[in-house]
């Protein structure tokens, strides 16, 4: 277990928010591992005598009665998710299943050593708990919904049943945005796709070579997809596709960690055959060609500054190796898929300048082994985003066809976790109120925009028609990466605005 000291955030106000955030960070809560955080929230409600409902997937719903004199005012639903993206540096020994996060605060920002912070969306959980624990003097009925597995397909929102708790609110404030100066009023829908390439592994002898790519900046595959971050998996596909004068097959390939995070690293091992006694020389030539191609990539004008410092290594591991290789169909299918798969921005919105309309992220490639440790398949995981349903339909067809091309005409594509987008509402009282109060308190009106990222708002809106929704949040940077940071001052300011909005509803 993580034995890092508690009280790292004890000096910051509002202390309720930062104290609860520190509690949350001490509890492992990666996607699919939310039972302990759900129990913590459930116990919080029980101690305070609040109505609480925890469903079968560990979504938690809490209701706080209105303050005296405010019972006739319209209820408000606050919402955020309890899971976090679990990414860590290559040299980190952190175990997300059992370890709490090792927090630090410096230069006005909170981070976690060697790992993601989970400010997305732990700060929402902390704000909701702080409000329930110490609400404004005047407030309507406050309902709080804590959903699970948002980061792996918005699964908690899909599973949530509003009828089971009798949701009273017709206004919802989602707390899953990352910019204090922005009010989000729409988002993309999306879909996950897994393509599985079966392989017939066999034993072979030759020169074992390892190629590694690391140090790319990564990032969020929705809100940062237009910024040009290099996809390490696609870059590996390029290196494996260069023409060389020798025969080889893959032994393994692995890269990325989450389908919704732009991959920062990728590693491949391959066996170069020694048919003519020149295997070692061929391997050296191959490694030199890979390194030259990597330098060509580094010099290209599309490579952003944050990715220029990536590291590429190509080395001989064993000059006389015996290894299980993927066979020619497995190798060819893998390289073909990495080469042909479209990734990044696929279309821009023709009517909203600078807004992405359609994108895809190849987030994971993984060699899958059978019970005897023999390679059985290579699995590829994609995240596709668009607010346009026809784009998602097109993505299903395209990725299904790609799977058929690369896996011997078998349909080995599985599409899952599809969710709808959230359309802009021309009339929104909560949007107008938030903008008014934010301008009064912070001196500047927030920007109102739709984003190219998946939020639970679309699913929840479809389950609760007529809900007036906005999404807000404090300033965060580099989410879904170990460089993730949360602004201390912005968190405090946004919380004060939230409290004021809830109080003004009772005016």
Would you name the residues annotated as active-site residues? 83, 150
Distances 341 to 176, 243, 344, 501 between C-alpha atoms, Å = 30, 19, 10, 46
DSSP symbol at 30 = B
User: Using CB atoms within 10 A of its CB, is residue 279 exposed (0-12), middle (13-18) or buried (19+)?
Assistant: buried
Bridge partners, residue 192, by sequence? 383, 416
> Which of 459, 491, 472 minimizes the C-alpha distance to 149?
459
Integer Cα distance of 479 and 85 in angstroms: 9
3-state secondary structure of 308: coil
Instruction: Tell which residue, 242, 199, 41, has the closest CA to residue 122.
Output: 41
CA distances to 58, 61, 65, 166 from 163, in Å: 16, 12, 18, 5
Which three-class secondary structure string do you get for 375-402? EEEEEEEEEEEECCHHHHHHHHHHHHHH
What is the helix (H) or strand (E) element at residue 211, kind and residue range? Answer: strand 202-214
Q: How far is CA 351 from the centre of its chain?
A: 27
Nearest-angstrom CA–CA distance, 239 and 85: 28
Q: Give the rounded distance of the alpha carbon of 309 from its chain centre.
A: 23
Q: CB neighbours of 443 closer than 8 A, spacing ≥ 6?
A: none
CA distance 403 to 414: 10
Separation of first and last alpha carbons in the chain: 48
Residue with the two structure tokens 């949007």: 431
The tokens describing 31, both together, are: 């996607």
């Amino acid at each position: 277990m993580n034995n890092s000291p508690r009280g790292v955030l004890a000096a910051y106000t509002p202390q309720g928010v930062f104290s609860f955030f520190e509690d949350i960070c001490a509890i492992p809560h990666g996607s699919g591992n939310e039972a302990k955080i759900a129990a913590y929230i459930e116990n919080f409600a029980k101690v305070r005598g609040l109505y609480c409902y925890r469903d079968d997937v560990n979504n938690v719903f809490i209701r706080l009665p209105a303050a005296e004199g405010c019972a006739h005012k319209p209820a408000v639903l606050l919402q955020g998710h309890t899971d976090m993206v679990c990414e860590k540096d290559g040299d980190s020994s952190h175990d997300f299943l059992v370890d709490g996060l090792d927090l630090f605060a410096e230069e006005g920002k909170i981070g976690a050593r060697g790992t993601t912070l989970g400010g997305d969306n732990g700060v929402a959980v902390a704000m909701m708990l702080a409000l329930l624990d110490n609400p404004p003097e005047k407030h309507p009925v406050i309902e709080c919904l804590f959903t699970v597995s948002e980061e792996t397909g918005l699964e908690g929102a899909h599973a949530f049943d509003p009828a089971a708790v009798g949701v009273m609110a017709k206004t919802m404030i989602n707390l899953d945005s990352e910019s204090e100066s922005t009010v989000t009023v729409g988002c993309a829908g999306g879909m996950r796709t897994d393509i599985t390439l079966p392989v017939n592994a066999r034993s072979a002898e030759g020169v074992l070579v390892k190629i590694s790519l690391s140090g790319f900046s990564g990032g969020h595959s929705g809100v940062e997809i237009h910024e040009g971050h290099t996809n390490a998996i696609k870059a590996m596909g390029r290196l494996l596709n260069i023409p060389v004068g020798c025969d080889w097959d893959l032994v393994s390939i692995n890269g990325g960690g989450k389908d919704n995070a732009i991959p920062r690293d990728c590693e491949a091992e391959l066996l170069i055959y020694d048919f003519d006694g020149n295997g070692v020389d061929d391997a050296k030539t191959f490694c030199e060609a890979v390194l030259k191609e990597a330098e060509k990539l580094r010099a290209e004008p599309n490579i952003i500054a944050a990715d220029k410092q990536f590291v590429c290594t190509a080395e001989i591991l064993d000059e006389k190796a015996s290894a299980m290789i993927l066979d020619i169909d497995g190798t060819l299918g893998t390289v073909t898929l990495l080469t042909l798969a479209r990734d990044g921005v696929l279309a821009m919105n023709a009517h909203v300048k600078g807004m992405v309309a359609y994108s895809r992220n190849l987030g994971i490639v993984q060699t899958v082994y059978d019970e005897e440790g023999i390679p059985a398949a290579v699995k590829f995981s994609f995240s596709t985003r668009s607010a346009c349903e026809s784009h998602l339909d097109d993505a299903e067809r395209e990725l299904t066809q790609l799977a058929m091309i690369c896996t011997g005409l078998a349909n080995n594509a599985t599409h899952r976790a599809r969710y709808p987008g959230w359309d802009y509402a021309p009339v929104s009282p909560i949007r107008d109120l938030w903008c008014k109060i934010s301008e009064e308190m912070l001196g500047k009106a927030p920007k109102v925009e739709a984003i190219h990222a998946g939020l639970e708002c679309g699913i929840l809106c479809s389950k609760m028609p007529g809900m007036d929704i906005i999404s807000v949040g404090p300033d965060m940077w580099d989410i879904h990466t170990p460089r993730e940071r949360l602004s201390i001052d912005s968190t405090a300011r946004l919380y004060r605005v939230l409290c004021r909005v809830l109080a003004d509803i009772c005016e």
